[in-house]
Amino acid sequence: MNLAILQKEKLILLKKIKILSLILLLAFAIIIAFTAYFLKEKGLLKISVKSSSLNPPYAAEADKIIKPLRYSGIQMFVDKAVYLTLDSDKEIWTLHNIHIFNDKGELVLRENRYGTCGELAEYTATQIRPMFKNNYNIQFVRVSQSGYFLAPMASHIVLRITKKTNNQEVYILDPSFHKYGPMDEFEDYLFFEEMDNLDFVVNKKENISQPFNMAIPLLIRGDYLIGFTVENINSESDQKHFVLVLTLTKKYNYAGRYIFAIRNSDGNAEIFENKKLAREVLDEKEWSILKEKIIELFERVVY
């Protein structure tokens, strides 16, 4: 056989081998990618990437302060002094005597550890300011959080800690979820409002007011958030048309389900409860005291 022909066939063969190798390499990469995706979706693969080399200042001291804190508004909500008023004209409901302040004007947590995000953030800020005041600025930040606070109306409060000599060095401290680290580690947070102080603390507001149909959080436990609200009926909100509602919302969901509701429709009281669902999150004592409190608010509501 002619040497030139052999050389030509050899080049063709090498070319085919090269193409086949590339195809096999591509197929292998695709298999690896799909395998990693499948394992990650099944929770069998966890990829951890360190987003920053910055170490939070006073980390041990901050952890000691926030570690005992618990996200719960139940202790505030069920206090005997708390009562409900409805303003049908403005379509606003108000819980009175929710917040307590001491003689110095400082917010007091129930049992020195319980509160929701605003209370826990204020308490933590008060505790850490003496340590941070010379080198860092502390602000409150209103955020959305992808797990439980998905929209600005359902906002969450955290602390932003910024180094005075370098405003690019920023840390976030979230007492509610016991998280503290560089800002770039909080990718599931959307930051949209900074505040030097919280209004309810500055003005010593003991009450909480909300529009009808907007809830306040009472408890985060596991994958669920429990909230309380007053709803109108068929867009009517007067003395004969309202519902007091306890809701249970699963993590990452917008809409919750009723676990307890007492409804006033044309002066008639109707009660709905889903104890089976509620007991997946609440213990028997918590379930009983919440129901009793809501019935009490309903019976004593002030217009």
Q: Which residue has the higher pLDDT, 256 or 162?
A: 162
What is the DSSP annotation of 32-79?
A: HHHHHHHHHHTT----------PPPTTHHHHHHHHTT-EEB-HHHHT-
d(CA 234, CA 178): 41
Residue 301 and residue 294 in contact, taking contact as beta carbons nearer than 8 Å = no
- The pLDDT tens digits for 123-145 are 999 999 999 999 999 999 999 99
Residue 258 and residue 274 in contact, taking contact as beta carbons nearer than 8 Å = yes
Lowest mean pLDDT across 56-60, 62-66, 267-271: 267-271
The whole-number average pLDDT for the span 266-295 is: 94
Q: What is the pLDDT of residue 235?
A: 60
Q: What is the pLDDT of residue 9?
A: 55
Domain range annotation of the chain: 1-47, 59-79+105-202, 208-300
Q: Which residue has the higher pLDDT, 8 or 49?
A: 8
Q: Which residue has the higher pLDDT, 36 or 239?
A: 239
Determine the CATH number of domain 59-79+105-202.
3.10.620.30
The whole-number average pLDDT for the span 80-97 is: 95
- Confidence class of residue 88 from pLDDT cuts 50, 70 and 90? confident
Q: Position of tokens 């008639």? A: 268
Q: What is the pLDDT of residue 149?
A: 82
Model-level pTM? 0.80
